[in-house]
Amino acid sequence: MFRHQNALRLSRSLFTKKSHHATSNATVSQNQRRHLNIHEYQAKELMGKYNVPHQRGKIVRTVDEVEKVCEQVKSEFGTENMILKAQILAGGRGKGVFDTGYKGGVKFCTSTEKVKDAAKEMLGNRLITKQTSATGTPVQTLMVTECLDFDRELYFAILLDRASDGPVIVASSQGGMDIEEVAKTSPEAIVKVPINYTSGVTQADVDTVAKEFGYEGQKKENLAQVMKNLYQMFVDIDCTQLEINPLVETTDGRVLCVDGKVNIDDNASFRQKEIFTKADTSEMDPRELEAEKYNLNYVALDGNIGCMVNGAGLAMATMDIVKLYGGEPANFLDVGGSASVEQVKGAFQIITNDSAVKCILVNIFGGIMRCDVIAEGIVEAAKQLELKVPLVVRLAGTNVDKGLDILRNSKINVIGASDLDDASQKAVKAISLESMAAAGGLVQFSVGHCIAVG
């Protein structure tokens, strides 16, 4: 599935010097993902299973639970001071601001009462960070952790890199900050170490990272164990990204993971059922969840032209051409190479659930995908949903004549297009005409005024 792809965002910033994406492509690249994103507390539970030293803690979901949990944290982990962390699927929590004006989603607390006061400010309110939407994300879970004394903050990650054809370790002595910013301002402070699938993390890999961190002796041995255990976790649970920021060196010489971002490949859901059943879908767009049911690749955008296309590349091109002619795509929606009538109907349902959509553009280039199947789905969906917005259709390829005949013989209103340029211009024009009619108090524009297929 295409969802938030932080691993793609991170690898692009670290492994490329320039970006050549068109505007709409860049937008989708920042928002799509092919992985399950799990919370910090879930990542730390997994670290515990793989004997990865980490900052320990417990979760609370109500203010009433705080006092009991704080006492447990103090007694079990031997800490007096505590850290309260909002659990949302986005970075930048510490510098975030709640919709109430309360600042910070990560708080240092010297007593149970201060934890409770901060919990009251966080739970049930929306936290806005540089990685959330402008309206923020509701905080439903908090983590109360031990407070660690450390001298240095480091950065360590393992992620899949297409150029290296496998996993790559990314490490920096400049941790605790935005690694993308480090890549821009101090690229020499980042080391990248491709990992051989067969041998795993080798001593040479450890040596490279240890040199960047300035580690020798026992510290280097501690680092080696952390690296090897994290890599084993990365492989075993089918990660696309495992990011530790910061990895810290405590005052007593230990190497610990203070925070963790873990993304797991969607395609491995059949192998990782236990993890996927615990997925928090509350922060996902409901339309993306609906798209998963139909096995569609969908990402919501901010425009008003709903797009249904087969193939990710063609979908990107379609959005770019729409923008070229002054339009704004409302979504990225790829029905794939072998969509059924039911999937097409599902796609239309998802698109029309977006109140911002003022026109639907269908762009199909049939190879494995048959144009007649698409046409049948379009007709059934248009009738079932009683489509109220202009519908522009461009079909080409396998069984295109059958598809066009189905559309011609149906009683639905369709604006036909000969190619992608034609389709994009007609979609933009259809919205313009409808807006003009509405502004002038005229009869609302109807696609029936512009029937032309083939």
**What region, left, alpha or beta, does residue 283 occupy, with left being phi > 0 and alpha being psi -120 to 50 degrees?**
alpha
Could you say which of 40, 146, 243, 434 is catalytic? 243
| Residue 263 and residue 229 in contact, taking contact as beta carbons nearer than 8 Å | no
DSSP string across 231-260? HHHHHHTTEEEEEEEEEEEETTS-EEE---
Q: How far apart are CA 437 and CA 439, in angstroms?
A: 5
215 catalytic per annotation: no
216 catalytic per annotation: no
Phi and psi at residue 79, in whole multiples of 5°? Answer: -125, 145
Q: What are the Cα distances from residue 90, in Å, to 105, 261, 300, 328, 372?
A: 11, 9, 17, 26, 42
Give kind and range of the element (H or E) at residue 83.
strand 82-86
Q: What is the DSSP letter of 338?
A: S
Q: H helices within 330-419, ranges in order? A: 341-352, 371-385, 400-409
Cβ neighbours of residue 17 under 8 Å, at least 6 residues apart?
A: none
**Pick from 34, 26, 28, 27: which is nearest to 5 by CA?**
34
Q: How far apart are CA 416 and CA 426, in angstroms?
A: 9
Give 130: exposed, middle or buried? Use CB within 10 Å, 0-12, 13-18, 19+. Answer: exposed
**Pick from 75, 4, 73, 76: which is nearest to 85 by CA?**
73
Could you say which of 40, 121, 146, 155 is catalytic? 155
Chain position carrying tokens 């491995």: 268
Handedness of CA 89, 94, 95, 99 (dihedral sign): positive
Structure tokens at 313: 């590349």
Q: What is the DSSP letter of 415?
A: E
**What are the residue numbers of the active site?**
155, 243
